[in-house]
Structures are given as structure tokens and as C-alpha cells.
Amino acid sequence: MPVNSSQAGVAVRVFAAKAIDAVYRGRSLKAELAATLPKIHDVRDRALLEAICFTALRQRARYDAALKSWLQKPLGAKDGELHALLLAGFAQLDELQLPAHAALSATVEAARALGRPHQAGMVNAILRRAQREGLPPVDASATWPQWLKRKIESDWPAFAGAIFANSAQAAPLWLRVNRRKLSRDAYAEKLDELGLSFTVDDELPEAIRIDEPVAVNALPGFAEGEISVQDGSAQLVADAVAPAAQSRVLDACAAPGGKTMHLLERDASLRLLALDVDARRLQRVGENLARNGLHAELRQADAADPAGWWNGEFFDSVLLDAPCSATGIVRRQPDVLLHRREADIAALTALQAKLLDSLWKLLQPGGVLLYATCSVLKDENERQIDAFLARTPDALAEPLDARFGHASGAGRQCLPGEGGRDGFFYARLRKRLAK
């Protein structure tokens, strides 16, 4: 993609506009960034591109409200990249607080680089107005589609406002320290030497939270496997599963491998099978295990169809981090609110039920299945588990303590932003011993 300008930062704004426009047209933000970031060589520019895209999508309701108010006539169907560029400009001036002169200059020049020289003056005028007046406030729920907003308000009437507000905030960087290589305190000393501020949580023995933006690749020990990136809520999964030493464990939907690695970092004696239906994502699991010096059996297969892969040996523990609506991680995947459809929920709950029923048959009597999602919808969580228990006589729900969030039926629900963590549901199910 040619960018006919030598001005620093113009290419980043061009890439950001194209990425945001692609997301509006249905592309995954994760996939779009994966394709775009390798084109940018400077690590600071890559970080800026990500920050612009995430901010523009998280705050799109506010930014679109400003455009609706300030533009003399709405942008047309062919103005997708221009619309995205304006959102990118707002993000720089608003949440990212970039120096106004540099942000305006590079964004206006990006309009020209995108083949919009006749609209560069309009871009300049709109962004200067944003600089003078600020962006108008809107309710944080405005970004959510109405059907999904109603579900959140129905499921969590006392917490809906906080869910919407916290989902619009930037997520912190959570690290998991590999206890096989060093202690959390020892790694914290390395961060102190760099002058980075961080938080530790007594409920999460390997976790460190960094609230200021930092490139994880630049952190000490990352390449050597001393740390991995994993949200605090996801780190609690290892506590909820708590497999016995040398036991046979199945991580049924394992990619990208964070929970597999955490279990093995705690106990390398586990006989762990990491399963995933996606070959490319499973390859990433293998790469992450190798970086951390860990070993698990990897297999590409559909967890919902054990006949195609199970060898008949029962598992002592099964971890089912089920496919879900991702409504608990909107702050990390803001495109969820653009792409999720109401019909998706019924399809997801049917798949979750099939996975529960299929994997339960592979569990040793007396064994534990840990059901987890990054959703906040009770259809996928509380009501899903209630229905499973009702149809599964040999299943017994075991209580989890308050570390795992609010009591929600037979499980626990952490809501977005609580303790700085993602929204996450956990249910620990024990298979009764035969009488």
C-alpha cells in the first residue's frame, strides 16, 4: 500500500483507518491487526496503531455522535475509510491524549494518502473542533446493540451500568510469572529496576498487573519463558481445576494455550492432552509451550466428537473453556459489539451443551470438569450449568469461593473490571462415584 508522504506517523494513521474500516465491514480486529502489524517495523508505531484501533472501536458511539452533530451531511456508503480516519483522529485527541499538532497534521495528511485530498480540509476542521470542544459524552451502553444491552440489564440489573462502563475502558496488561523459573517477587524486582509501576494480587500468586501501556516483547524474560500474558480471571482457572499430581488432564479447547501452560508450570508431572479444532491455533500452543520449556500432547480434533480422537482412557480432570459470546472481554475485543448477532447466542449455547455432554462421558468417576467462559450472559453460564445438572444425575456442583466472583447459580461470575480482571464464569463439577 503506497503512502505518498515522508511525514512521520502518516502511514500509521493510514493503516489504522484501513483496519477500523475493515472491522466495520465485518473483519475481526484480531485478524486485521495480525495482517497489518508485520508491515510496521517500529515497535512504538505498532503500539500506536493498536491503541488507535482499540480506542476508536471502544469509543465509537461517542465519536459517531460527534460526527452526526458536526458534519453538515452524513458520510456516504463509499466513505468508510474517511469515517474510520475521523474516528482514529478523535481517538488520538481524546483518550490517547497525543500532542494535538502532530496528531492533526499526520491525520490530515493521511486523508491525502488515502486518496481524499479534497476532504483533507474537512478532516482538519472536524479534528480542530474536537480539540477545542472535546468529544460529547454518551452513555457507555450506547456502543452495545439493543438486544444485547437488554440481556445484560436483565441478567445483571444491579451491575449493568458498571459492565457497560468497564467494558469501554482500556484493559491492563496481566502477566503470569512462570514459577518453574523464578518467583513473582524476583520478577517484580526486575520491573522495579525498569521503573515500571505494577500491582500484585494476593488472590493470584503468579500474577502481576501493569496498568500503563508497555510492549510485552520489551519486558525482561519474555523470550526466555519467565512470563506470559494472561488475564487475572483466566489465571484463576488453574485454582479451580486443581488437578492432582501425575493425573491425566484434558484441556478441551486449548488454544492459544495459556491455561495449559499455567497448569504445567504449577505441576509438570501432569499428563496433559491439549486439544483444539483449529490447526493453526494449536500450532501456537506448541510454540508457547516450547518458549516456556513445557510439554503436553497436542491433538487437532473436535472436542464435541470424541469418537474421532478419544482412545478410551478416562481423564481425572477436564477443562472446558467453552466457545462463547466473549461479552466479558469487550474491552479486549471491542469488535464483538459490531459483529455479534442475537442468533449467535442460541448457536453457542447449543454447542456448549454438546461439549458438556460429550466431555462428561470421558471423565473418571470422582473426577472434576471445570466449565469456564469469558461471557457474562446467564444463558451461557448459570442457566447452561443448571440445565446440565438437571439432565446429568451423576454430576455434582462443588462450591467455589468469593475469589471467583459473584455467586451465580451453581457457579461464580467475575464481571468486567472487577479487580482489574476480565468478565469470566466458572463452574466446578464433580462426577459422583458409582454406588
Q: What are the percentages of helix, strand and coil residues in the chain, rounded to 5?
A: 50, 15, 35
- Round to whole Å and give the CA distance between 402 and 408: 11
- Round to whole Å and give the CA distance between 218 and 205: 23
Instruction: Give the closest residue to 362 by CA, choosing from 329, 319, 404.
Output: 319
Residues 6+ apart with CB under 8 A from 54: 29, 170, 334
Which DSSP state fits 113? Answer: H
User: Pairing state of beta strands 363-373 and 315-321?
Assistant: parallel
Residues 6+ apart with CB under 8 A from 428: 240, 241, 368, 369, 370, 397, 398, 399, 400, 411
Please name the amino acid found at residue 421: R
Distances in Å between the Cα of 365 and the Cα atoms of 148, 252, 384 are 39, 18, 22
Active site residue 374: yes
- Round to whole Å and give the CA distance between 288 and 282: 10
Note every long-range contact of 117-123, with CB atoms under 8 Å and residues 24 or more positions apart, other chains counting: 119/82, 123/82, 123/85, 123/86, 123/89
- Round to whole Å and give the CA distance between 403 and 202: 10
- Round to whole Å and give the CA distance between 157 and 317: 35
What DSSP assignment string belongs to 35-96? Answer: HHGGG---HHHHHHHHHHHHHHHHTHHHHHHHHHHH-SS---TT-HHHHHHHHHHHHHHTTS
Residue 430: exposure state from Cβ atoms within 10 A (0-12, 13-18, ≥19): middle
- Round to whole Å and give the CA distance between 362 and 262: 22
Chain centroid to CA 377: 16
- Round to whole Å and give the CA distance between 198 and 243: 30
191 phi-psi bin (left φ>0, alpha ψ -120 to 50, beta other):
alpha
- Active-site annotation holder among 253, 324, 374, 414: 374
The set of catalytic residues is 374
